[in-house]
Structure 1
């Protein structure tokens, strides 16, 4: 899941520069300094990023800026497993489904949102009522909602304290809701499709990032199979994570 609220800053801790690859071998990485910070949601925007945003050329007047370039307008995309679309969450419609997924033991072990509906509801409303740096979505494949996504601005998130963030870095959190859809390559196919969709719809974004728990081998493997590289192991508040990065591929003109 996202970073856990610690309530106070801690001393910096080192990044481990290499990640073991669950498929065998070691992925190359890069070092940085880490520090604990606030929850991904409901946080204060770090002062350095306030200044960064003020310098970006695409920022409009207050109330006009869309930090994620209109996720609700991205529309469907064809993938090897079907037609897929990110549909922004509506709490009145989607809460029962998402809350049921959060109570699946395989999901709860990493998202830590199992329990009554109001716990999941608070998590969703914190994003929906925020400044737009994180958008919760259902992943709909061929008309069926089968996954939950959070698309977020990693460069405006506390995660940016844990790696050398670049402007417009875009982050992904993902869960596949039903056990029947896991373990057969669906997650990898959808991660690759969403990474491409982000690059297509967010022209200023050069990298898609994620931070799955190192213990969650299926998740780490899915990111690797989707074209992400493991840049480093990082000690985040509450978990040791694999910093996964997928770079924009520059296609050569014929």
Structure 2
């Protein structure tokens, strides 16, 4: 999920709603429920004293989910933080304020080649609104560097996204999509610096999250290089509905080593 810009600071491309997306009622949403037969079997064994009640496994949805209003530990409250390239903040999108800017970025040919959202404001609005009206598993944000909006981010629960069908997801895995908006901001290391800073911010603000993941398009070598420079490791190739991607992971346990 990345831009075609020749720099390593481009874009990560989302799997769009309808193909794999983020919305609340998407029919492609991952079903994490244990089979009724297994639940009944566990309950029966507990009733017979074979399995202590406190040892029964929680349903998968309970182990993966936070409360519906807090699936991402309140991204909007994470506040500004210092990065090597200046003070930075993830500001949740407000359509009345941000739609025109995001739509302009999406119509940059380097971005459009991978995000596939070039066109009218309405197309961008549909993509963003699906997240804003969803259940909170994805939060679209504008990245503000030194007081200037310069990037678009999606912070999402990878373990609750259809992406989890394509790799061995762990509870609270958190995904990142990024595009750098202005051409002048590409090709000078901003993408790598901000990816590292945001990944570390996710790990700091989400104690239950052990890994930050991303899935840039394999064709976008500059984006893959940006993730590697940001301390992510290449884990695997994955076939997603819209692309063949590189699964990139930043591990909490390795964050001080990479």
Take 1:72 and 1:156, find their aligned partners in 2: how far apart are those partners? 20
- RMSD between aligned alpha carbons? 1.9
**Alpha-carbon deviation of 1:53?**
2.6
Show CA shifts across 1:143-197 (max 9, x none).
0000000000000000000100000000000000011100110000000000000
Cα deviation, residue 3, structure 1: 2.3
Shift of 1:41: 2.1
Structure 1 residues 233 and 93: alpha-carbon distance in aligned structure 2, compared to 1, 3 A threshold: same
Q: Which residue of 2 aligns with 1:155?
A: 159
Q: TM-score, normalised by structure 1?
A: 0.81
**When the two structures are superposed, what TM-score results if normalisation uses the length of structure 2?**
0.80
Q: How does 1:157-196 map to 2 (within 5 A)?
A: 157-196=161-200
- Unaligned 5+ runs, structure 2: 1-12, 35-58
Q: Secondary structure at the match of 1:249?
A: helix
- The corresponding residue for 2:21 is 40
Query: Shift of residue 5 of structure 1?
Result: 6.2
Q: Which of the pair has the greater relative contact order for Cα pairs under 8 Å at 6+ separation?
A: 2
Instruction: Indicate which of 125, 128, 132 corresponds to 1:124.
Output: 128
- SS in structure 1 opposite 2:188? coil
- Contact kept, 8 Å, 2:63 with 2:171, in 1: the verdict is no
The higher radius of gyration belongs to: 2
Residue 62 (structure 2) aligns with: 54
On the 8 A contact 1:154/1:209 being kept in 2, the answer is yes
Deviation per CA, 1:113-134: give whole Å up to 9, x if none.
0000000000010000000000
SS in 1 for 2:32: helix
Structure 1 window deviating more from structure 2 (43-52 vs 170-179): it is 43-52
Structure 1, unaligned runs of 5 or more: 7-37
CA offset digits 1:38-59 (Å, max 9, x no partner): 4222324422268423245x84
Tell me, yes or no, if the aligned pair for 2:143 and 2:153 is still in contact at 8 Å: yes
Bigger helix share: 2
1:251 Cα deviation after fit: 8.4
Per the alignment, do residues 68 and 129 of structure 1 end up closer, same or farther by CA in structure 2, a change over 3 Å counting?
same
Cα distance in 2 between the residues matched to 1:190 and 1:5: 26
The residue that corresponds to 2:228 in the other structure is: 224
State the alpha-carbon separation in 1 of the partners of residues 246 and 254 from structure 2. Answer: 25
- C-alpha contact (below 8 Å) 2:17/2:127 kept by paired residues: no
